[in-house]
């Protein structure tokens, strides 16, 4: 029995000092990215962003740490500033928003999403539109927004 203990002790010592790759946490296998899946993921992010645009936890999950939002005042808001503004200055709760003409373009690990956000009042009447551009980067296994800009749509009058 003693030779077996010596062999076991030797094996333990060797295994303790032998180089080996670090143990990986057990997780789901990485799914294969496809353009179709990327489009679905980006559509889900945009939909979640619109539904939770005044929710700090939702914004924190969607916006990358280096997110920049160009706003109408000429300022460039970072992620923290955007979340502060979005959660402190709320629109009337009777307004509803939806997307129109959403277009998703993929460029490898980057994507650009353009579209309209249409705002309607409590009677369902459309009262405002904004055209927007959101830029996303695929990092660490998920899409995150890195840039946003929107402009209010206005009717131009023809010169007389």
SS (H, E, C) the chain: CHHHHHHHHHHHHHHHHCCCCCCCCCCCCCCCCCHHHHHHHHHHHHHHHHHCCCCHHHHHHHEEEEEEEECCCCCEEEHHHHHHHHHHCCCCCCCEEEEEEEEEEEECCEEEEEEEEEEECCCCCEEEEEEEEEEEEEECCEEEEEEEEEEECCCCCCCC
- Full-model pTM: 0.77
pLDDT of residue 138: 98
pLDDT of residue 31: 67
pLDDT one-digit tens code per residue, 119-137: 999 999 999 999 999 999 9
pLDDT of residue 37: 97
Write out residues in the chain with pLDDT < 70, as ranges: 1-31
In the chain, the domains with their CATH numbers are 33-152 (3.10.450.50)
pLDDT of residue 159: 76
């Amino acid at each position: 029995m003693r030779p077996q203990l010596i062999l076991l002790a030797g094996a333990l010592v060797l295994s303790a000092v032998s180089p080996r790759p670090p143990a990986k946490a057990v997780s789901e296998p990485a799914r294969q990215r496809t353009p179709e899946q990327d489009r679905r993921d980006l559509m889900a992010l945009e939909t979640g962003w619109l539904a939770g645009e005044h929710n700090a936890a939702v914004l924190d999950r969607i916006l990358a740490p280096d997110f920049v939002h160009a706003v109408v005042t000429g300022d460039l808001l970072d992620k923290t500033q955007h979340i502060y503004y979005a959660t402190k200055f709320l629109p009337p709760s009777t307004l509803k928003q939806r997307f129109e003409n959403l277009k998703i373009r993929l460029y490898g690990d980057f994507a650009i999403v353009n579209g309209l956000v249409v705002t309607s009042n409590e009677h369902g009447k459309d009262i405002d539109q904004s055209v927007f551009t959101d830029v996303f980067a695929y990092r660490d296994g998920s899409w995150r927004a890195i840039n946003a800009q929107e402009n209010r749509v206005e009717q131009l009058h023809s010169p007389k």
